[in-house]
Amino acid sequence: MPLSVLDFLLLGLAAVAGGAVNAIAGGGTLITFPGLTAVGLPAVNANVTNTVALSPGYLSGTLAQWKDMQGQMRRLWLLAPTGVLGGLTGGLLLLNTGAAVFRTLVPYLILLASLLLAFQGHIRRWLLRQVEQSGRETASETWTVVPVFLASVYGGYFGAGLSVILLAVLGLVLHDSLTRLNALKQAISFCVNMAAALFFVFSGQVVWSAAVVMAVGAIVGGVIGGRLASRIRAETLRAVVVTFGVIVAIIYFLR
């Protein structure tokens, strides 16, 4: 469907806001995805377009934390392909789920992502206590591929809250500092989202005009968010995004 100038303005603003939120607290998809459906895009097209538009932002986040990947190359060689495979599987499931089924799942997915974001701080503190209790790696790191694959399938299917899920999974299985686990999580998230995005590129479901506008907006928002990160409390912004996400989920339920 054709989009108006006002629609593009709304999408650009949503992308700027989402990029800034991602840079400060995470959860930008809870802003950008509803923005796409608000201008009239079907849920599947909105989700696919959102993934393609926001995927470049994961590269900058990965590069920014690359120094903390030192000594984790074995893990990355194991989990990067897992993330790619999971992202592709999730993308394949999305395109074969059917629009009606996905529309039914959308409010539940948004609510799940909102709850994950709401408890992100508690999860991080719990993980920090866990990793402080043991500084040694376990002998079962290979089994990390199973929960990481499942989390990656979710990421390829919808994506919101993926970072929280991955960090929790890695903290449960691997014994390392939270900083290093966060860097590994970021790298896996990049693999998941890029794999899904590249798959969606050839799906015929991407609304390219919206994706380009949102990609530019997300980059601008990321820069703004990076500069404001030291001035805005992440907890406050996270609470606003969670509240917005819950409201959006309720609206979808009522619709």
Report DSSP letters for 9-43, one per residue.
Answer: HHHHHHHHHHHHHHHHTS-THHHHHHHHHHTT--H
Whole-number pLDDT of residue 148:
92
Q: What are the residues whose beta carbons fall under 8 Å from the beta carbon of 1, sequence distance 6 or more?
A: 40, 41
The predicted model scores a pTM of: 0.81
Whole-number pLDDT of residue 139:
45
CA 31 centroid distance within chain: 12
Give the pLDDT of the chain (255 residues) as one tens digit per residue: 688 999 999 999 999 988 887 777 677 888 899 899 999 999 899 999 999 998 877 777 777 778 888 888 888 899 999 999 999 999 999 988 877 888 888 888 888 877 877 777 777 677 667 666 655 545 457 778 888 999 899 989 987 778 778 877 887 777 777 778 878 888 898 899 899 999 999 988 999 999 999 999 988 887 787 677 667 676 776 787 778 778 878 877 876
* Domain spans, the chain: 5-254
Report DSSP letters for 119-171, one per residue.
Answer: THHHHHHHHHHHHHH--S--TTGGGGHHHHHHHHHHHHHT-TTHHHHHHHHHH
Q: Report d(CA 23, CA 190) in Å as an integer.
A: 15
Q: Read off the tokens for 177.
A: 């500092």
Whole-number pLDDT of residue 177:
74
Q: Report d(CA 149, CA 130) in Å as an integer.
A: 22
Whole-number pLDDT of residue 209:
94
